[in-house]
Amino acid sequence: MPSESTNQEDIEEKKTRITVKLDDFDHRVINKMATNRNISLSNSMRNIVHQWIESNPDLLKKNYGVDIKEISDEIFSESASLALDKTLRKIEKDIIKELPEFFEIVEVVDIDDLADHFDVPNKIIKKIIFTHSKEIKKVGLNLKLKEGQIFKI
């Protein structure tokens, strides 16, 4: 029987690992980006790829035959058929307890950066924000999500 944390990781995040080789210049740029934002190299690469994909849907369609809207719709329809799990897990409770202290010094944070701070997949942070707003308010926080950033209001 798989451990609870292994099972939770499988459920929480299904990501594909891709290994890339970078030349010295690219590696230094990515490394500086990661260092300046205090995130991992892989998270820096993931952010770059995600931003490029979002900024170039026409190029992806024209040159590669990739329809971003079609992929988004497929993912939505797959996830929409799943029942929303509203149970509050221990890790989510622990993060919610830590949020007031975190937001004492930060007023705005990217979801990915907050996930890195707590060393959890960003899907956990999204679930906390989307599903457990009442619990967040109980600890004295009023948060707003806009364009991938969490604002303290």
The domains found in the chain, sorted by start residue, are: 17-80 (no CATH), 90-152 (1.10.10)
Q: What integer pLDDT is reported at residue 97 of this predicted model?
A: 95
Nearest to 5 by CA among 130, 121, 113, 84: 121
CA pair distance 149, 131, nearest whole angstrom: 16
From the number of C-beta atoms within 10 Å of its C-beta (0-12, 13-18, 19+), residue 53 rates as middle
Instruction: Give the angle 113-66-23 at the CA atoms, nearest 5°.
Output: 55
Q: What integer pLDDT is reported at residue 75 of this predicted model?
A: 75
CA pair distance 97, 114, nearest whole angstrom: 14
Tens-digit pLDDT profile for the chain (153 aa)? 444 444 444 444 557 788 889 999 999 999 999 999 999 998 899 899 989 998 999 999 999 999 888 888 777 766 655 556 678 889 999 999 999 999 999 999 999 899 999 988 888 898 899 889 899 999 999 998 888 899 998
Q: What integer pLDDT is reported at residue 92 of this predicted model?
A: 93
